[in-house]
Amino acid sequence: MTDLTQLDTPCLVVDRARVAANAERLISRLAALGVPLRLHVKTAKSLEAVEAVVGPGRPPITVSTLREAEQFFDGGYRDILYAVGFTPDKQARAKKLIERGAQLTLLTDSIETARAISGFRVLIEIDTDGHRAGLKPESEKLIPLANALRQSGNTVAGVMTHAGGSYDARGDAALRAIAEQERAGAVRAATRLREAGFFGGAAQAPQPIVSVGSTPTAHFAERLDGVTEVRAGVFVFFDLVMAGIGVCKVEDIALSVLTTVNGHRPDKGWTLIDAGWMALSRDRGTARQPVDQGYGLVCDIDGRPYHDLIVVETSQEHGVISHRSGGRVPELPVGTRLRILPNHACATGAQHGGYNVVEGKQEVPARWERFGGW
């Protein structure tokens, strides 16, 4: 069996035991709150990785691209929510997927889109934290948008919100508050639609979808009444941004980049590695957190963190490791293998074509392929 000393570096490593533990933690939490997970597959983009989270069944999933929808449909998934504002030019491709048997649900907050598309199940995007798209729960545009969707021959299937602003929340109380704000806003918008006559007719969904979620709010919500599903994705692997928010511990992070030391600059306190931004991504999500992890936190080949060693600078295929506060860097001879924990699992994963799977040890019993593109 291959092990981590034999792989070509840089490459992506995933710890299957940590994925299983991360999955169990969120799924059991949501079960206790009485709401199912609709896994967001944009983080993993891998049939094998997703199966490691949800099991051999083919439960409802969330996607961020039509390519993800197509790939997971081919893998047997049928109930697919495409959770990015739809554009009319994507209709033909979406229709093809529906004709093949997908129950595809689209998303919009735009009356222009509502008037231009026809024959789809659509959620209305609700903005509960001001960070991106969506109509406010009390928006005067909400009912006209739903009417426009119906008049064009679409089914208004419910509402969806994503409190991405939770990534900037700090502390349990703030996270619980934004989770409740996300829940309440989505439920309020759905209630307004119901009061306007939606979700009641025979041609409409009898039970509207009230879809909320982000990894932080999914882990901190105290109640989810009125919510029918929770979306989350990055919890599968977790990352330094999530650890910085307090959603996970560094020890929960399942994803890392395996790299090899290729030089030293003792005059500068630098150890150089063969993982640059191409392998780690340019994501600097911890830059605005209390602890800036640079381009990633350095671990040994077994995944044990050197807590003060980070990747302080990168170019395309070079990384520079240094002590975060100018302290001494341990001796790491040329050829030493290290693992770098990522700021943002979605971004780092996207730089690679697959996962080398480990389970605590250096042996690599499996490889999971991943896809990219649109």
Stretch that binds its own copies, among 6-14, 49-57, 178-186, 297-305 (CB under 8 A): 6-14
Residue 326 makes contact with its own copies by CB under 8 A? no
Give SS3 for 52.
helix
Whether 215 contacts 233, CB under 8 Å: yes
Question: 170 vs 51, 185, 236, 288, CA distance in Å?
Answer: 32, 21, 21, 12
Rounded distance between C-alpha atoms, residue 48 and residue 12, angstroms: 15
Closest distance to its own copies from the beta carbon of 32 (Å)? 29
Residue 132 makes contact with its own copies by CB under 8 A? yes
Residue 122 makes contact with its own copies by CB under 8 A? no
Rounded distance between C-alpha atoms, residue 360 and residue 211, angstroms: 35
Closest distance to its own copies from the beta carbon of 3 (Å)? 13
Residues within window 263-322 making contact with its own copies, judged by CB under 8 A:
263-265, 268, 272, 274, 277-279, 281-284, 313, 315-318, 320
- Listing DSSP states for 296-351 in one string gives -EEEETTS-EEEEEEEEEEETTEEEEEETTS-PPPP--TT-EEEEE-S-HHHHHTT
Q: Which one, 35 or 114, has the nearer CB to its own copies?
A: 114
What are the backbone dihedrals phi and psi of residue 238, each rounded to the nearest 5 degrees, phi first?
55, 175
Stretch that binds its own copies, among 20-28, 143-151, 180-188, 346-354 (CB under 8 A): 346-354
Rounded distance between C-alpha atoms, residue 63 and residue 77, angstroms: 11
Closest distance to its own copies from the beta carbon of 129 (Å)? 13
Residue 176 makes contact with its own copies by CB under 8 A? no
Q: Which one, 132 or 249, has the nearer CB to its own copies?
A: 132
Residue 261 makes contact with its own copies by CB under 8 A? yes
Q: Of residues 59, 75, 85, 269, which one binds its own copies by CB under 8 A?
A: 85
Residue 222 makes contact with its own copies by CB under 8 A? no
Closest distance to its own copies from the beta carbon of 277 (Å)? 7
Residue 113 makes contact with its own copies by CB under 8 A? yes
Closest distance to its own copies from the beta carbon of 171 (Å)? 23
Residue type, 50: V
Stretch that binds its own copies, among 51-59, 82-90, 193-201, 358-366 (CB under 8 A): 82-90
Residue 232 makes contact with its own copies by CB under 8 A? no
Residue from 255, 280, 173, 154 nearest 220 by CA: 173
Q: Which one, 292 or 359, has the nearer CB to its own copies?
A: 292
Question: 97 vs 58, 64, 140, CA distance in Å?
Answer: 16, 15, 33
Q: Where are the alpha helices (DSSP H) in 34-171?
A: 47-54, 66-74, 91-99, 111-116, 142-151
Site size with its own copies, rule: CB under 8 A: 60
Residue type, 213: G
Q: Of residues 62, 71, 105, 108, which one binds its own copies by CB under 8 A?
A: 108
Q: Which one, 82 or 220, has the nearer CB to its own copies?
A: 82
Q: Is the peptide bond before 10 cis (omega within 30 degrees of 0)?
A: yes
Q: Of residues 133, 205, 250, 366, which one binds its own copies by CB under 8 A?
A: 133
Residue 8 makes contact with its own copies by CB under 8 A? yes
Q: Of residues 93, 100, 304, 307, which one binds its own copies by CB under 8 A?
A: 93
Residue 112 makes contact with its own copies by CB under 8 A? yes
Q: Where are the beta strands (DSSP E) in the chain?
A: 11-15, 37-40, 61-63, 79-82, 103-108, 121-126, 155-161, 209-212, 229-232, 255-265, 270-273, 297-300, 305-315, 318-323, 337-341, 354-358, 366-369
Q: What are the residues binding its own copies (CB under 8 A)?
A: 8-11, 42, 64-66, 84-90, 93, 108-110, 112-113, 116, 130, 132-133, 164, 260-265, 268, 272, 274, 277-279, 281-284, 313, 315-318, 320, 333-335, 346-347, 350-353, 372-374
